[in-house]
Amino acid sequence: MTANETPEIIMTGPLMAYAADQLRARFTVHELWNAPDRAAMLREIGGRVRGVAGGGAHVRIDGALFDALPKLEMVANFGVGYDNVDAAEAGRRGIVVSNTPDVLTDEVADLALGLLLATVRQLPQVDRYLRAGKWLEKPYPLTTSLRTRKVGIVGLGRIGKAVAHRLEAFGLPIAYHGRSRQADVAYRYYPSLVEMAQDVDTLISVAPGGAATHHMINAEVLKALGPNGIVVNVGRGTVIDERALIEALEAKTILSAGLDVFEDEPRVPAELIAMDHVVLLPHVGSASVHTREQMGQLLVDNLVSWFSGKGPLTAVPETPWKKA
């Protein structure tokens, strides 16, 4: 940025004040999600906008939006996952996309372990039991245990590795499934998700969304997991065939599930809500003040770095950035 130029950017959804205030101090910010007529706003300002601060499901960031923003240079996405952005199309158009990796890794991994423990030991159900006065009548029934469980991780990226590291402290055997074997990882690799499900009894999914992972945890995988099986998902809801999961839980094909993400958020199937033996969270994996502020800061830093001529800090693979 130069002293004589204030780039114009669009915010597609609300951000924490910590980040939004910094953006307003450095850029001319247009709040697209607040516009009574988004199409009219884009017609008015689209030719001047050079950046997008994106987050949430308020506006899909794809070719249609790119068409309305002919001078767009960069999309800074709030979140490590960016399936709300057509990054491949952005790359084809020479638009750089950034995300917020690393800063939320530990928070999501912590939540994954908490959700696993809550599901295995039925912690929300036990809490409700006590509050309802039922402990006065008789002890809570015995639960399953984390002891003797074998865990398969679906998607061994940054967060998957952090989850695995925490699981090691519990003394649990760990396997993983992904696109390819990772040379620097000692855990057992399964090229087939079904085969891994047959050999473990607990699946933890931290896989990203998108066409490549859509419904990869399906009825066949759930059947292979077996009647003692538990599924935990802190990645993307689309990775699991939700209808197949509901049927597996109802038929006791698997034991239980702990879910922080869903296919059509924030709408959660009534069948899942009605089940007392599952644990459901409203996509709170990174939802601490500390981590969300760090995510917002990285979004801001990416935009500031780009418009200062230094390039993005964390460009996604579909839009690689090579410093000139």
Q: What is the pLDDT of residues 123-165, one digit of tens each?
A: 999 999 999 999 999 999 999 999 999 999 999 999 999 999 9
Would you say residue 302 has pLDDT above 90?
yes
Q: Give the class (CATH, top level) of 8-101+289-307.
A: alpha beta
Dihedral (C-alpha) 301, 107, 189, 314: value to the nearest 10 degrees? Answer: 0
Contact 82, 236 (CB under 8 A): no
Would you say residue 57 has pLDDT above 80?
no
Q: Do domains 8-101+289-307 and 105-280 have the same CATH topology?
A: yes
Would you say residue 324 has pLDDT above 80?
no
Active-site entry in 38, 283, 293, 318: 283
Would you say residue 56 has pLDDT above 80?
no
Distance CA 211, CA 305 (A): 31
Q: What does the domain layout of the chain look like in residue ranges?
A: 8-101+289-307, 105-280
3-class SS letters over 247-291: HHHHCCCCCEEEECCCCECCECCHHHHHCCCCEECCCCCCCCHHH
Q: How many percent of the chain have pLDDT more than 70?
A: 97
Would you say residue 320 has pLDDT above 80?
no
Q: Is the dihedral of CA 113, 116, 119, 120 positive or negative?
A: negative
Active-site entry in 236, 242, 263, 292: 236
Per-residue confidence (pLDDT) for residue 1, from 0 to 100: 47
With a threshold of 0.85, does the pTM exceed it? yes
Per-residue confidence (pLDDT) for residue 63, from 0 to 100: 97
Specify whether 93 is catalytic.
no
Per-residue pLDDT tens digits for 173-208:
999 999 999 999 999 999 999 999 999 999 999 999
Average pLDDT over residues 234-246: 97
Per-residue confidence (pLDDT) for residue 83, from 0 to 100: 87
Q: Is the dihedral of CA 18, 19, 20, 25 positive or negative?
A: positive
Average pLDDT over residues 261-290: 96
> Which amino acid belongs to residue 182?
Q
Per-residue confidence (pLDDT) for residue 2, from 0 to 100: 46
Per-residue confidence (pLDDT) for residue 120, from 0 to 100: 98
Would you say residue 247 has pLDDT above 60?
yes
Active-site entry in 60, 179, 265, 290: 265
Least confident of 1-10, 56-65, 149-158: 1-10
Distance CA 170, CA 183 (A): 24
Per-residue confidence (pLDDT) for residue 106, from 0 to 100: 97
Per-residue pLDDT tens digits for 68-124:
999 999 999 999 989 889 999 999 999 999 999 999 999 999 999 999 999 999 999
CATH architecture of the domain with range 105-280:
3-Layer(aba) Sandwich (3.40)
Per-residue confidence (pLDDT) for residue 88, from 0 to 100: 95
Roughly what angle, to the nearest 10 degrees, separates helices 289-307 and 17-26?
20
Average pLDDT over residues 263-279: 97
Specify whether 121 is catalytic.
no
CB atoms within 10 A of CB 31: 17
Specify whether 290 is catalytic.
no
Q: How many percent of the chain have pLDDT more than 90?
A: 93
Per-residue confidence (pLDDT) for residue 39, from 0 to 100: 95
